[in-house]
Structure 1
Amino acid sequence: MKKSLKKIIMVVLTFAMMFAMTVPAYAKEAFKILKTNATIYSSKTMENRRCYNPDERIAYIGKRKVAVRSSNTKVATVKIKDNAIWATPKKAGTTTITVKTGQETYKCTFTVYKYVNPVSSAMVGKTTIKGTAFKKNAIYNLRYSKYKNKSIAFKFNLKKGWKLRGGISYARSNWGVGKMSPNGSKIKVAGGSGFLAAALAENIKTGQRERIHIYFK
């Protein structure tokens, strides 16, 4: 009986030691800044706040207690909200974002770009949208009634020096989270006015990213 009890105690102690060893490793997970640039969009682009939010989530902080500041608030301001650090671009330029958590300090150069059109052309079913349609604005409107309940192909062709990040993201007006489909694939336009399809383009050289939306009114 005593031997059995000793074995049980040893097993419990072993698991306790294993747990104690793993918890600190998780708790000390490295902090990381996820995004170091943003774009200033035109007022017409920003009219549809469902497609565009000026605030950029640049880091998750979880339950960490952090202090954050921007060296040039004329370029971008920063704030802490919903367990994350957010940057709001103000004008083109660069600023240094400093994050202090515990005894550690993290810094990154945050760049705000003027909007650059990455689109050569876009296809929505049999409709060709010229790249010049996105020259000043990152959003293009189409009539929902024309495409209602139709499964049509969406394809974005990008200019040289740009690449597509992922495929085509799309969402109905009542969806909280969108879905993803390969570039050039068919997507059903449904759910009423407010359906949207989008592509995220990235400049290979600079890392600048542009979100291009086709919105069905």
Structure 2
Amino acid sequence: MEAAIIEFLKEFVEKNVFLVYFILFISSVLQMVFPPHPGDTILVFGGYVTTLGIFYSFPTVFLNAMAGTVLGSIVIYIFGYNKGSDVFKYRLIKRYVDEKHRKRADRIFKKYGVYAIVISKFVPGVNAIMLLMAGMFKVRRRDVYLSVVASTVVHHTLALLLGRFIGNNISRINSVLKTYNGIGLALLCVLTASGIVYVILKRKRAKA
């Protein structure tokens, strides 16, 4: 059964280049504006697609997915910025963001600030909430956009490389995604900690 699915996907991908790019783009947007959408799984599949021929080079697939994610992120942020706490009056948001998730996101964002956006990129379903909160709290656009771009570059690079590594072994995608999210989160924590240490040491040297 899996072999038949893979064969079908290969044929579809080879014959529908523009449609595949469109699907990957829309999937990246939906992952942000509709968190239940399995965007990571499709993104990993995009990594596999980069092994199928010259029409799907790594840079073009990466930039396509990146554009979709950044667009979706900006839409969520601006929506929260313009609506404020009224965002929770919308049924769709109330359905997927309950009081528990809201309070948890609020605590994390107040504790870590803009860094919460970067870290939450590797926690499925949380990133969109953090961007919504960033808009509600009127966090500076420049800080939010830089955080979105930085975290998306790391996230998408790892996801696409993972897809190339897995290849056509579809059954492994979900299990490996869990490991991938953990590795990505750990990597970001290390980079953040290194940055903090660097700033502290720099300030101490300046005072000396």
- TM-score in terms of structure 1 length: 0.22
By percentage of residues, which structure has more strand? 1
- TM-score in terms of structure 2 length: 0.23
Larger gyration radius, structure 1 or structure 2: 1
